[in-house]
Chain A
Amino acid sequence: MRDLKFHPCGNYRESYREELTVFETDFGRLWMALGLAVLFGVVPWTTSPYMLYVINTIGIMAIAAIGLNILIGSTGLISLGHGAFFGVGAYAAGVLASSWNVPIYLAVPAAGIITALTGMIFGIPSGRLKGLYLAIATLAGQFIIEYVLVHWEDVTQGTMGITLPDPSILGVSLRGDRPFFFVIFIVLAAMTWMAVNIMRTRFGRAFVAIRDNDRAAEGMGIPVFPYKLLSFGISSFYAGIAGAIWAFYMISITAEPFTMMMSVEFIAMVIIGGLGSISGSILGAVFITMLNETLRWVTDILMNAGGLAGLELTLAPLRELAFGLAIVLFILFEPKGLAEIWRVVRSSFRLWPFSY
């Protein structure tokens, strides 16, 4: 057995191979194994159904947020239509499962691919546009998809929505929070693994080159437009997978949740988590989902306190307010997000007591 690696006190990498390692030390490997063991062995068996529901929501949102982070954080393309792509995935899975009885393990990847194709169609403007203009073009995409989801009644059944059949894998019925916990987190783990490895290969490096300077990237021989489309495709694939699982989990879907607000929430996850950081996207998903749930809890308490009941205190405005405040404060005070805070905390432990 080779020697265990510990944290070096500086950057002593000598080869490109070392630069590409996923785990800097063996402790990283160990912690991850422990983390996965706790996640699958302890969490689903000990938490209350409500907490499990929250955790499942976090998992689904994290899948979509990782996808958006590949697009925004790594490729530098802004998309304001991620919520709509999530909806496309949900509807694709819904239609496949309810009309053609496609089983869940085929419907979810198929929905991912359909969404990836949709995303690439709306990514075509990125060939000529960037920055602000692209953001506005994807905003238009959001509204167009929303319209299609509501008005293409032959397929989506309009405002009626779709009810999905009970999913099952190899005869085992998946209903309820616990079975879905396993589905969601196994997919999340696989998708995280995929994202980490995309970023280590030529694709990931091309994305980063395009983000940093697209004309220079073109000059270095990277075909910019195909890679931009690919980035759109990958990010919508993630959104589609997340949406499809969400549809199976929620049983019935309508076009209502897939609004601009959802897209904004995804961008907030990416920004609050940390642009370009995969662990950051997961942290961002945790933060935003917990924020929503905490606000719901607080308003419930205020409503039940009696004295405030006459004020018609409703969830939506407070949520809106706190959500906006969280985004603004993060951008003003920690623009690199939770991932940066985590890094600072970690390195202050590592470098103690000689932090300079």
Chain B
Amino acid sequence: MDFFLQLLVNGICIGFLYGISAMGFVMIFKSSSVVNFAHGELLAAGAFLFLALVTWANLPVPAAFLLTLAGTFILGFVIERLFLRPLIGEPLIEVVMLTIGLASILKGAMLLIWGGNLHNYPDFLPEGLGLHFGAVSIPPVYTTSILISILFLLLFGLFFKFSSQGIYMRSVADNQTAALSLGVHVKKVFALSWAIAALVAGMSGIVLGIINGINVHELSAIGLKVFPVVILGGLDSIGGAIIGGLIIGLLETFTGGYISTSLRDVIPYIALVVILLIRPYGLFGLVEIERV
């Protein structure tokens, strides 16, 4: 029973992280319908920027955190400006391939600078954050990361609900043509949504880095694991991303705990194919109606 409970807790924690990692992806897809295959690399970019600021520049942790967020924000903006803007209106395969190429570039650059080894942040979390319920324990990294994530979720919820930029972004996501005709600067919204998505990705990268250590290959693999998560939740629903993340996280930990550890990494993709066959637009996604 304890084993079950521990798995349940781990699954929820990991699932929550997947959900958070998927948030940036959903944000980009929702506003500009670009599928971002470079999402894992954006996660890694945030994690490594933070590492560089903390260890090389010896900045205090909060300052480094804020600077990382600013850096990833600019990175997202630049990526949209240089690579994605010329492709507005081009066929899907080109956009997909462009983000794959982008992923290669970012990954190659990071491998050149930091190499493929595992890096770790210096320990800066207080021990008191760890929680224990009988035999079940939650290590401090999980509680911290979940706290950070919930904070960001709240912030973004408020941003989308009340700020004018947030409302513009929602309007573009809802109906691009209508938004255009009402005077929303759609290109600006695309740029902003890439910037914000990169920021969110950077934040999730740091959180993942605190938990597992930072490694380019692992983080880019998580970037691909975002796909089962978002398909489960529906590609255009941020709340769905969190729920999809939880389901995938639980599925993974239970498969790993009870069946076999090697199946663990494939089970999300098997679930993905099954879901696509039963409900092609995910559990919470919008069903597209096509007309000739």
| A contact residues vs B (CB 8 Å cutoff) | 72, 78, 124-125, 128-129, 131-133, 135-137, 139-141, 143-144, 147, 151, 213, 215-216, 219, 260, 264, 267-268, 271, 275, 312, 316-328, 331-332, 335
* Stretch of B94-102, B136-144, B164-172, B205-213 at the chain-chain interface: B94-102
The answer to whether A264 touches B108, judged by C-beta atoms less than 8 angstroms apart, is no
Bound form: Cα–Cα A318–B108 in Å: 6
A318 in contact with B112 (CB, 8 Å): yes
Give the distance in Å from the alpha carbon of A135 to the alpha carbon of B272 in the complex: 12
Kindly state the separation between the CA atoms of A141 and B265 in the bound complex, as whole angstroms: 13
A322 to B105, CA, bound (A): 7
Interface contact B227-A136, CB-CB below 8 Å: yes
Contacting A264 at CB < 8 Å: which of B100, B270, B290? B100
The answer to whether A335 and B269 touch (CB under 8 A), given A133-B276, A219-B292, is: no
- Is A331's CB under 8 angstroms from B97's CB? yes
CB distance from B39 to the nearest CB of A (A): 13
Whole-angstrom distance between the Cβ of A82 and the nearest chain B Cβ: 13
- Which A residues are CB-close (under 8 A) to B227? 136, 139-140
Determine the chain B residues whose CB is within 8 A of the CB of A326 once the complex forms.
101
Select the stretch in B44-52, B83-91, B175-183 that faces chain A: B83-91
- Is chain A's interface secondary structure helix, strand, loop, or mixed overall? helix
Contact of B105 among A128, A135, A264, A324 (CB under 8 A): A324
Name the residue on A nearest B115 (C-beta): A312
Partner of B292, one of A213, A264, A323, A332: A213
CA distance A255 to B93 in the complex (A): 27
Q: Are B266 and A147 in contact (CB under 8 A)?
A: yes
Question: Can you list 19 A-B contacts (CB < 8 A)?
Answer: A131-B92, A140-B272, A144-B273, A147-B263, A147-B266, A219-B292, A267-B93, A267-B100, A268-B101, A275-B93, A317-B107, A320-B108, A324-B100, A325-B104, A327-B97, A327-B98, A327-B104, A328-B105, A331-B94
Tell me the nearest residue of chain B to A328, going by C-beta: B101
Residues of the B chain whose Cβ atoms lie less than 8 Å from the Cβ of A332 = 83, 86-87, 98
B131 within 8 A of A: no
Closest to A320 in B: B108
Could you list 4 further interchain pairs (A-B, Cβ under 8 angstroms) beyond the known A325-B101, A332-B98? A144-B269, A323-B101, A324-B101, A328-B102
Q: Which residues of B contact A (CB under 8 A)?
A: 35, 83, 86-87, 90, 92-94, 96-98, 100-109, 111-112, 115-116, 224, 227-228, 231, 235, 262-263, 265-266, 269-270, 272-273, 276-277, 280-281, 290, 292
Residues from chain B with Cβ under 8 Å of A141 in the complex? 273
Q: Which of A132, A264, A268, A318 contacts B35 (CB 8 A)?
A: A132
Chain B residue contacts of A135, Cβ below 8 A: 35, 92, 96
Assess A320 versus B104: contact at CB under 8 Å? Given A144-B273, A312-B115, A328-B83: yes
* Chain B proximity of A164: nearest CB distance (Å): 26
Task: Select B104's contact among A72, A136, A271, A321, beta carbons within 8 Å.
Answer: A321
A139 touches B105 (CB 8 A): no
CB distance from B163 to the nearest CB of A (A): 29
CB distance from B105 to the nearest CB of A (A): 4
List of A residues within 8 angstroms of B276 by Cβ: 125, 128-129, 133, 136-137, 140
A27 vs B290: C-alpha distance when bound (angstroms): 47
Q: Does A125 lie within 8 Å of B277, measured CB to CB?
A: yes
Contact status B292-A140, CB under 8 Å: no
Q: Which of chain B's residues has its CB closest to A148's CB?
A: B266
Q: Which of A131, A264, A316, A321 has the most CB of B within 10 A?
A: A321
CB distance from B252 to the nearest CB of A (A): 13
Which single residue of chain B is at the shortest CB-CB distance from A316? B111
- Please name the residue on chain A nearest to B270 by beta carbon: A144
